[in-house]
Amino acid sequence: MQVRKAVITAAAPDQSRLPLQQLIDAQGRERTALALIIDEATSAGIEEIAVIIRPEDASAYESAAESTSVDLHFIKQAKPTGYAAALTLASDFIGSENFLHLVGDHLYVESTNQTCAKQLINVAAEFGCSVSAVQATRETNLPYFGIVSGPRVPQLDRVFEIETVLEKPTPTKAEQHLITPGLRSGQYLGFFGMHVLTPEVMSLLKDLSNAPESKPASLSDALAQLPGRQRYLAYQLRGSRYNLGVDYGLLRAQLAIGLSGRDRDLILTELVDLLAGRLEGTHQS
């Protein structure tokens, strides 16, 4: 299975500015979040990338993308009609190929020598089917993620056969339908914001976004229909994702990237200094 193309979504009204934020990467260079996401994709051998954006953000994204070796397309979503609808805009771009999907408001830090996207594409290549990256997620974070469950693939530690997908379930539902054997109690497999998907998913998405539902469809709604139709796996990859959209999300992502790179000691020293100063301040008051 070959994966050449990637789709990044960044058109949600409340998230559209996040990929434009400036960070310092592991090598100490000033980069935008978007550039880091594009790097993640290219590291896995992606050749063409489509970014779904709001029309008014076009110029900002073009400059934020920085110079890159891949073929970059910007697709504009005129109205915020939902996640599924945004993805379907890339269907012409995808054609009949498998594709990598990343969300624009997440950054990834690997904990091995392979980037997260690379790890995921390797698994997809090995099994030849759709694979979603997942990580063990505490139940308190359920309101933020799509959750999957299913048995482990025999002999493999980190690969799961997905049977159920629910978007932002309540802990009550999660406990009834989404328990994955082997995880600690109160932990579930939550989406990582990174998927390798087959073109069939695109047609499911189209069906969903054309359906007259009161609520806009999400990617999870489409993925929930996948297990009955074709093999669909989850891979608990070695790395972490950082959601820029939550409180202090950018700060946490920056710290994680910083601590994984060249300036680790410097950052730690600064942190200690900050803490010591604060303690002193507390003491004086």
Partner 1 sequence: MNAFIETIRSDDQATRDRSFELLCNGLDLRSTLEVTGELDDYRRTEQNLYRRVRSLFFLSAIHRYHLPTLFSDQASNLIPHDGFEHLLSRRFLEAIDCFLAHQERHGASDGLSSALAEAYHKLGFQTLADQVRSSVRGVRGNQWMFRLGHPAEHPLRVRKELLPPDTSSEGTSLAPIVRETTAVRMDLSHSAWSDIFFLGMDFPEGARVINVSVDLGVKGRDNHTRPPIEAYFRVIDEPVVRLTSVDLGVTTDVETVAEMFDFGRDYLGLLKAALIAAGVVPPGLEGCGHSIERVLLPLVGPKRGIELVSMINDIPKGSRLAVSTNLLGSLISVLMRATSQVKSLTGPLEEDERRLVAARAILGEWIGGSGGGWQDSGGVWPGIKLICGTTADENDPEHGISRGRLMPVHTVLERDSVSQETRQALQDSLVLVHGGMAQNVGPILEMVTERYLLRSETEWSARRDAMRIYDEVVEALKAGDIRRVGRLTTENFEGPLRKIIPWSTNRFTDRLIESCRDRYGNDFWGFWMLGGMAGGGMGFIFEATIKAEASRWLAKKMVQVKREMETSLPFAMDPVVYDFAINDNGTFAELLIDDRATMPDRYHGLHMPSLLRTSPRDLSAGRRREMERVSAMCNEPSGSSLASRLITTLLPTPTTQSDSAESLQAILERSGFDTVAHESIRADLISGRIGLSQNRLPTNTLIQDVKEDDIIDLRERVDSKNTNLGEQAIREGRVAVVTLAAGVGSRWTEGAGVCKALHPFYRFGKRHRSFLEVHLAKNRKTSRKFDQAIPHVFTTSYLTESPIRDSLARHDGFGMADQVHISSGRSIGLRMVPTVRDLKFLWEETAQQVLDEQQQKLRQSVRGALLQWAKQTGEASDYTDNVPSQCIHPVGHWSEIPGMLRNGLLQQLLIERPQLDYLLLHNIDTLGANVDAGLLGTHIAGGQTLSFEVITRRLEDRGGGLARVGGRPRLVEGLAMPNEQIEFDLTFYNSMTTWISIDGLLRSFGLTREDLVNASRVDSAIRELASRMPTYITLKDVKRRWGHAQEDVFPVSQFERLWGDMSTLPEVSTSYFAVPMQRGQQLKAQAQLDGWNRDGSAAWVENLCDFS
User: How far apart are the C-alpha atoms of 102 and 87, rounded to whole Å?
Assistant: 11
* DSSP letters spanning 115-142: -HHHHHHHHHHHHTSEEEEEEEEEGGGG
**26's tokens:** 């592991």
CA distance 234 to 195: 9
Distances (CA, A) of 54 to 50, 78, 83, 123, 213: 13, 6, 13, 32, 23
DSSP character for 152?
B
User: Which one, 171 or 249, has the nearer CB to partner 1?
Assistant: 171
Give the shortest CB-137-to-partner 1 separation in angstroms.
11
Min dist CB 190 to partner 1, Å, is 12
Q: How far is the CB of 170 from partner 1 (least distance, A)?
A: 5
CB closer to partner 1 out of 155 and 185:
185
Residues in touch with partner 1 (CB under 8 A): 138-143, 170-176, 179, 185-186
- Given the DSSP bridges, would you call strands 159-161 and 232-236 parallel, antiparallel or unpaired? antiparallel
The residues, any chain, with a CB within 8 Å of residue 221's CB and separated by 6 or more, are: 84, 167, 208
User: Of 249, 198, 243, nearest to 225 (Cα)?
Assistant: 198
Count H helices, E strands: the chain? 11, 14
- Give the residue with the Cβ less far from partner 1, 46 or 174: 174
Nearest distance from residue 83's CB to partner 1, in Å?
16
Least distance to partner 1 from the beta carbon of 186, Å?
5
List beta partners, residue 50.
7, 73
- Residue closer to partner 1 by CB (options 144, 270) is 144
Supply the minimum distance, in Å, between the C-beta of residue 211 and partner 1: 18
Minimum CB–partner distance for residue 251 and partner 1 (Å): 17
Cβ nearer to partner 1, comparing 124 with 166:
166
Q: Is 102 helix (H, G, I), strand (E, B) or coil?
A: strand
Would you say 172 or 269 has its CB closer to partner 1?
Answer: 172
β-strand partners of 122 = none
| Helix-, strand-, coil-residue percentages of the chain, each rounded to 5 | 40, 25, 35
**Judged by CB, which is closer to partner 1: 141, or 240?**
141
